[in-house]
Structure 1
Amino acid sequence: MNYIQEMRKVIGTKMLMTVGCGIIIERNGQILLQHRKDDDVWGIPGGVMEPGETFEETAVRETLEETGLKVEDLKLFGLYSGEEGFAEYANGDQIFSVQIIFHATDFAGELIQDAEESKEHRFFSPDQFPHLNPHQARFILDWVHQPNLPILK
């Protein structure tokens, strides 16, 4: 059982603060997006930090689990907080997530198409984006516009 599941046993659906870590994986000017099973939206690979992990360990672990890719040489892309970090899921669970987003172009492995949390993975050009996860759209659009890095929001 993971940390979030343990905390949900104690607090039910009340708001829980989380630390999310994700990676913008870039190849030839395209970004890797995953099509999620739960919300039918596309976003970057990543997930919630477990106690004792570093930001990088979380991002690498979650990306490997979700995509089959081992990512190396992470660079800090952005730190995201604020009102956009709040979400309420269909089951009533509420979270407020602070997001640490990395960028990488160095990866290896076989890209998994059907994983526990995702239907498919595909690289997209900025002019071809599918329906983006509204909680991750700001990371992805910041990647498109490439302002000064790292981004602090």
Structure 2
Amino acid sequence: MNYIQKMRKLIGNEMLMTVGCGIIIEKDNQILLQHRKDHDVWGIPGGVMEPGETFYETAMRETLEETGLKVEQLKLFGLYSGEEGFSQYQNGDKVFSVQIIFYSNCFSGELLQSTEESHEHRFFSRNNLPHLNSHQERFIHDWVTRVNLPVIK
């Protein structure tokens, strides 16, 4: 049982603050997105930090689990908080998430398609994005407009 499941047993649907970490993975000027099974939207790989993990460990663990890719040379892309971090799920769970987003164009491994959480993974150009996860639109839009794009040397 993970941290979120343990906390939900204690607090039910009440507000839970979480730290989410994700990675904008770029190849040939395109972004890797995953088609989620739970909400029929596309977003970047990532997930919730477990106690004791670093931001980097969380982002890399979640990305490996969700995509099969080992990502290296992570650069901080952005920190996202504010009212847009609130979400209420269909089951009534309320969450406020702070997001730490990284960027990398250095990865290896075989890209998985169907996983426990995803229908598929695909690279998209800036001008041809699918229906996005509303909670990730802010940082995907920043990637599209090249806001905060780190320099990789």
Give TM-score scaled by structure 2 length.
0.96
Please give the secondary structure, in 2, of the residue aligned with 1:126.
Answer: coil
Match of 1:52 in 2: 52
Q: Call closer, same or farther: CA 1:102–1:123 in 2, change over 3 Å.
A: same
Is residue 128 of structure 1 aligned with residue 128 of structure 2?
yes
**RMSD over aligned Cα atoms:** 0.9
Deviation at 1:13, TM superposition (A): 0.6
CA contact (8 A) 2:73 2:104 kept: yes
- Matched residues in 2 for 1:93 and 1:117: separation? 19
5+ residue gaps, structure 2:
none
Q: Distance in 2 between matches of 1:148 and 1:3?
A: 31
Matches within 5 A, 1:3-152: 3-148=3-148
Give the superposition deviation at 1:11: 0.2
Unaligned runs of 5+ in 1: none
Count of aligned positions: 150
Measure the CA separation in 1 of the matches of 2:148 and 2:45.
Answer: 23
What amino acid does structure 1 have at the position aligned with 2:120?
A: E
Q: Note if contact 2:67-2:121 (Cα within 8 Å) is conserved in structure 1.
A: yes
Distance in 2, Cα, partners of 1:117 & 1:9: 22
The TM-score normalised by the length of structure 1 is 0.96
How far, CA to CA, are the matches of 2:144 and 2:14 in structure 1? 35
Write the deviation string for residues 62-114 of structure 1: whole angstroms up to 9, x where unpaired.
00000000001100000000000000011111100000000000000010100
- Counterpart Cα distance in 2 of 1:32 and 1:147: 17
* Structure 2: distance between partners of 1:42 and 1:90: 18
Change (3 A) 1:110 1:149: closer
